[in-house]
Amino acid sequence: MLRGKKVEVVPGLATRWRQTSPTTWVFDLRRGVKWHDGSDFTADDVVFSVLRAQGPTSGFRVYANALGTPRRIDSHTVEFTTAEPSPIVHEMASNIMIMSRAWAGRNKVERSQDFTRSEETHAARNAMGTGPYRLVSHEPDVKTVFKKNPNWWGIAEGYFEGNVTDVVYTPLASDATRLAALASGDLDFVLDPSPQDIERLRKDPGIRIYEIAENTVFFVAMDQHRGELLHSSVKGRNPLKDLRVRRAIYHAIDMDAIARTALRGFGRATAIVMPNPESVPVPPAMDKRLAHDPALARRLLAEAGYPNGFSVGMDCDLRWDKVCTALAGMLAKVGITLELVVANSSTFFAKLRRLESSLYVSGWVGSQDAMFTLQPIYHSRDDNNGDWNIGNFRDPDLDAAIDRARVELDPAKRRELMIEAVRRMQEGIYMVPLYRRLAPWASRANVEVVQRPDMTFEARWAKVKPR
């Protein structure tokens, strides 16, 4: 399936889906679809892709395992049989990228690459799909080039609304370099312009600014599994296992100040680690942060056995280094010294996937259903859940609420179970909530793009007018 402009599920490679029993779903696939090499898309590709995504090295196991066992009924019909009832199999299916079984076999990528071992397969630099653009070239951290696929089925369906035929994605780490390239016309569009530059950009008649409440929540997460942290002055024990320490970190943070300064107003403080709390919906009364109280934070640290504080390494994606720097200053005032390690996204997330971070700041992009947050990051790690529970915390009561909500078909009961899961997260402070972002994009004035709440850029909707 595809996602529409409001992140709703719309027909894509699947044209129709239906739940034929509490544990059975049937998907009708679009006929006449061609892969970029001209071969036919069939149910065999769907079955292969789901089984591949269920593999032990896959980062999509939470979603793929929720689909259960795939079975080819005919060339364009697939049936999924789940181990338990689920009301959102179609939502889970929308997160699985479909691969050509033949292409994967030819290039020996039938198995997902193992990021924990820094493995790199043919699929890391190459791809072959059915979509509106085909991959021309990919140089990691340098440049990726796409060209319009004139044979895309979506053109006839009216899904290609723009006029962009070629896309060149160039990652530029420096805010100044990106915005200078935009101002000069070397770039047409920029994701994530620095909030501190937005007001200046608004005054430039050649620049267009976009803003939207993003379905992303940012938080501090921490290793709560190891007996001793990999990166800390504390030896022989793990201070982050102690709720008093986690509470001290929370009380040390002045999120309103971070929103004003580091985020320049493009962030709203939150008490809920949920990108779209309205998807539960969580009662508004629950969205109340613990007070910023450095004195209380110091007392809690002393009670936990750290009257002089301690140092701990904190990993940070380069894109939100200003937030990390602000956090380091606030925690230093209560005695916790953060040794910042700032890296580009690929290096940062590879370290997280190896579970080698003691403390880190990250974000989570949500979908239309809260289960897309509860299962991957709230639930403890096992074969079917918690792939992005990098802190590796475990709360049996939290898990139980999620497990029951996952199979509950009654909407009211499901909502109460999801609210209970959020409440357990708040009580345990397994992650410290920070903010939901008001996200800016920037483009040349002659460029028009569609900004979606999940911050996915769809080139098929972009329009470029002559300058």
Last residue of a domain, one of 92, 114, 136: 114
- With a CB cutoff of 8 Å and minimum separation 6, the contacts of 460 are 132, 133, 154, 159, 160, 161, 162, 164
Tokens at residue 330, please? Answer: 């606030």
Q: Are residues 64 and 138 in the same domain?
A: no
Strand ranges in 121-165 using DSSP code E only, listed in sequence order: 133-139, 143-148
Per-residue pLDDT of 237-287, as tens digits, reads 999 999 999 999 999 999 999 999 999 888 999 999 998 887 788 899 999
User: Which CATH number do you get for residue 6?
Assistant: 3.90.76.10
**pLDDT tens digit string along 79-126?**
999 999 988 899 889 989 999 999 999 999 999 988 777 788 898 889
| Last-in-domain residue among 81, 114, 147 | 114
Segments of the chain with pLDDT less than 70: none
451 shares its domain with 349? no
Same domain, 99 and 205: no
CA atoms within 13 A on the CB side of 273: 29
Task: Yes or no: say if 162 and 463 are a contact pair by the CB < 8 Å rule.
Answer: yes
Domains of the chain: total:
3
Residue 128 and residue 39 share a domain: no
CA distance 356 to 379: 19
Q: Are residues 191 and 202 in the same domain?
A: yes
Q: Per the structure block, which two tokens stand in for 266?
A: 């493009």
Distance CA 112, CA 439 (A): 32
What average pLDDT is seen over the chain? 94
Provide the whole-model pTM.
0.71
C-alpha 192 chain-centroid distance: 15
CB atoms within 10 A of CB 250: 24
CA nearest to 375, candidates 407, 350, 399: 399
Q: Please give the single-letter amino acid code of residue 159.
A: Y
pLDDT at 372: 86
- Is 60:111 a contact under the CB 8 Å cutoff? no
Rounded CA separation 97/328 (Å): 38
**97/128 same-domain check:** no
Q: For residue 395, how many other CB atoms are within 10 A of its CB?
A: 19
Give the number of other Cβ atoms within 10 Å of residue 143's Cβ.
12
pLDDT of residue 253: 99
Which domain covers residue 197, as residue numbers? 122-213+438-464
- CATH number of the domain enclosing 198: 3.40.190.10
Cβ atoms of 425 and 398 closer than 8 Å: yes
- In angstroms, the CA 324 to CA 318 distance is 9
Asked whether residue 303 falls in the same domain as residue 158, the answer is: no
256 with 140, same domain: the answer is no
Residue 264 has a pLDDT of 87
pLDDT, one tens digit per residue, over 424-435 is 999 999 999 999
Burial status of residue 108 (CB atoms within 10 A of its CB: 0-12, 13-18, 19 or more):
exposed
Residue 439 is predicted with a pLDDT of 84
Which of the listed residues 114, 133, 155 is the one where a domain comes to its end? 114
Report the CATH number at residue 344: 3.10.105.10
